[in-house]
Chains A and B, each alone.
Chain A
Amino acid sequence: MPEEKFNFTKAYQEVEEINDWFQKEDIDLDEALEKFQRGMDLIKKCKERLKDVQNRFEEIKKKYSIEKENQGEEVDPKDIPF
């Protein structure tokens, strides 16, 4: 299976699901082993993502253009009495 792009939200939710699954009463050993390995693998990846990662800031440079709001409404100048 090709390595898909790591998605923290999905991974974390899956870890939570596995944790819930382990709380069940009747557990199949083979399935448990599989889930355990998958869970530990995801935990490792999540931990890496949660390591102190500096936030990145970027200011958006606006191309500020003055648009006259009323350009759309043209009225005959004679209608305006001053």
Chain B
Amino acid sequence: MPLIKEDVNQKIFKVSEFLDFLNSLLVPQKVIVQGEIGAKMAQYPKFTIFNLLDKDNEAILPCFIWRSKIEELNIDLEEGMEIQVLGYPEIRKPKGEFRFQVERVGLVGEGILKKQFEMLKKKLDREGLFALEFKKPIPQFCQRIGLITSKYGRGAKKDFETHLESYGFEIYFYDVRVEGLSAIEDVCRAIKWFNENLLTCDVLVLTRGGGSWESLRPFNSEEIARAIFASKIPIITGIGHEDDETIADLVADVRASTPTHAAKILTENWKLASINIYEFERNFPSLMNRIFKNTESAIIFFEDNLNKKIKDEIFSMRTKFEEFTKSLMFHFRKEIASKRERLDNLLERLNLYFRNYFEDFRALEKEFIRNLLWIQRLISDKKVETTQFLNKLIKNQDLWLARVDRLLKQQREKLIPSSPILKLKQGYTITFNEFNQIIRNLFKLKPNQMIKTKFYKGQILSEIRKVEK
């Protein structure tokens, strides 16, 4: 709460109150200061402290910057570097020291800017921010347009709006700074705003007029590049002149060379459609007419053709039928004649065969009867012969018996002297071993072996004492 002058003169401040009072005046002074980085930079992990110098006047501005702000540059701060700092002045109460709180650093000098540009381009390219596969298509007919540019710019807004013809576009204009360090924040906020509040936009147009390469710097920043990439709504860029190529252009879904070109891209399809629609309107009835005519002539052609075709067809069928009948009759006749001939042949051959068979059969029959008579005669002859033999046999029976008896007696008498019983009777003995085998020599006999000796009447068992060979 700033005090008015009268109050300040009367009031007696405490130190803390006074510093607060000074800060309340200093902090809102958001300014951009340009100078050179002096020697004795103090680098800490989270922040850096350095002096910004004015070489000619030997003036010094102590600055404080967070490490993350330096990282956004993609280039390290070095002694002797010419830079611009955006931020605000402040007095640190604990030490009573003045410092400039840096919110954003901008490099100065074409050489270093180009280097920064190339490094960022390479980095984002590696990450794929320029890849075609991530480009969102612009609708064929855009109606709702989010326009992000400056109302104070050098005619970019006017150029765009003038060349956007009247096709009922709805343009939502978001005013942003397009130059200087604060442009980055503005543009990023605008893109975010549309994505959060007006997602029904068909397209966003990010545009600004031409200027020096240095003045287009915000559009070469990493923040804007990432904001464009993150947008769900497709973005057309139209930045500077035709030859200017910024990082924003590379990330954008479509790059227009100028604000005018961006307007033309959006108008183009509408314009084409408004020509084409009249052409379609003219063409459709004539196309339809052509189809009617084609159909009509096709019907007439079919009608004529059909009559002729039917006649032709009937004639051709009749001819075919007659030919067929003729050929059928011819075939029948031929077939019947051939069949009859074969039948006659067959009958003739059959008759011949039968005749032969009958004759053979008759001859065989005669021979059979002859043989039969011969066998009958033979049997009756043998019968007589057998009867005679039997009678003869009965008559001589006794004679035969007597002869047999006599013969038997003679044989018995011959046998008696060689009988073993007779030999035993005469006093001989027979000796057996334990297996009842007759012993004929002494070879196998051993002392102590048992032997059996048979007499005419009775037998003895004895043991051998000695074998004398």
Interface residues of A (CB under 8 A from B): 8-9, 12-13, 15-16, 18-19, 22, 27, 29, 32-33, 36, 39-40, 43, 46-47, 49-50, 52-60, 62, 69-70, 73, 75, 77-82
The reply to whether B295 and A82 contact each other, CB–CB distance below 8 Å, is no
Q: How far is the CB of B450 from chain A (nearest CB, A)?
A: 132
Nearest chain B CB to A39's CB is how many angstroms away? 5
> In the complex, which residues of chain B have a beta carbon less than 8 angstroms from the beta carbon of A19?
280, 283-284
- Expressed in whole angstroms, the Cα–Cα distance for A40 and B285 within the complex equals 9
Complex alpha-carbon distance, A15 and B193, angstroms = 36
Q: How far is the CA of A32 from the CA of B230 in the complex (A)?
A: 47
Known: A12-B141, A22-B287, A73-B66. A58 touches B173 (CB 8 A): yes
CB < 8 Å: which of B171, B278, B292 contacts A56? B171
Does B429 interact with chain A (Cβ within 8 Å)?
no
Q: Number of contact residues on B: which range applies?
A: 35 or more
- In this assembly, does B449 line the interface, its C-beta being within 8 Å of a C-beta of chain A? no
Known pairs A50-B167, A82-B62, A82-B97; A36 contacts B288 (CB<8 A): yes
The 10 closest A-B pairs by CB, nearest first: A53-B168, A82-B97, A50-B274, A55-B169, A22-B287, A36-B288, A9-B141, A59-B173, A60-B174, A56-B170
Find out whether the CB atom of A52 lies under 8 angstroms from the CB atom of B166. Answer: yes
Q: Give 15 A-B pairs besides A59-B175, A82-B97 with Cβ atoms closer than 8 angstroms.
A: A19-B284, A39-B280, A53-B168, A55-B164, A56-B169, A56-B171, A58-B172, A58-B173, A60-B172, A70-B66, A70-B103, A77-B93, A79-B44, A80-B47, A80-B64
Interchain nearest-CB distance for B92 vs A (Å): 7
Residues of A within 8 A of B459 (CB): none
Residues on A with C-beta less than 8 A from B141 are 8-9, 12
Q: Which of A18, A50, A56 contacts B277 (CB 8 A)?
A: A50
- Chain B residues with CB under 8 Å of A81's CB are 42, 49, 95
Q: Would you call B291 an interface residue if the criterion is a C-beta within 8 Å of the partner chain's C-beta atoms?
A: yes
Nearest to A32 among chain B residues (CB) is: B291
Q: Please, how many angstroms separate the alpha-carbon atoms of A43 and B253 in the complex? A: 31
**A18 → chain B, closest Cβ, in Å?**
8
Known: A9-B140, A55-B170, A62-B174. A82 touches B92 (CB 8 A): yes
Interface residue B264 (Cβ < 8 Å from any Cβ of A): no
Cβ contact within 8 Å between A47 and B270: no
Q: Which residues of B contact A62 (CB under 8 A)?
A: 174-175, 193
Tell me whether A9 and B103 are in contact (CB under 8 A): no
Check if A82 sits within 8 Å of B99, measured CB to CB: yes
With the chains together, A19 CA to B291 CA distance in Å?
13
User: Could you tell me which residues of chain B, from 281 to 316, have a CB within 8 Å of some CB in chain A?
Assistant: 281, 283-285, 287-288, 291-292, 294-295
Residues of A within 8 A of B173 (CB): 57-60
Q: Which residues of A contact B292 (CB under 8 A)?
A: 29
A46/B277 in contact, CB under 8 A: yes
Determine if B317 is an interface residue (Cβ-Cβ < 8 Å): no
Given the complex, which residues of A lie within 8 Å of B169, measured CB to CB? 55-56
Q: Which A residues touch B211, using CB under 8 A?
A: none
Q: Check: B342 CB closer than 8 A to any chain A CB.
A: no
B270, A54: Cβ atoms under 8 Å?
Answer: no
Chain A proximity of B356: nearest CB distance (Å): 82
The docked-state distance in angstroms from the alpha carbon of A19 to that of B140 is: 18
Q: B137 in the interface, Cβ–Cβ < 8 Å? A: no
B375 at the binding interface (Cβ < 8 Å): no
Chain B residues whose C-beta falls within 8 Å of the C-beta of A54 in the assembled complex: 166, 168
Interface residue B22 (Cβ < 8 Å from any Cβ of A): no
User: Contact between A55 and B103 (Cβ–Cβ < 8 Å)?
Assistant: no
A15 and B171 contact, Cβ closer than 8 Å, known pairs A50-B270, A73-B66, A75-B46: no
Give the residues in chain A near B273, CB-CB below 8 Å: 12, 46, 50
Query: B94 contacts A43, CB within 8 Å?
Result: no
Residues of A within 8 A of B68 (CB): 73
Asked whether, in the complex, the Cβ of B277 is within 8 Å of the Cβ of A43, the reply is yes
Q: How far is the CB of A36 from chain B (nearest CB, A)?
A: 5
User: With A55-B166, A80-B47 known to touch, is A36 a contact of B284 (CB < 8 Å)?
Assistant: yes
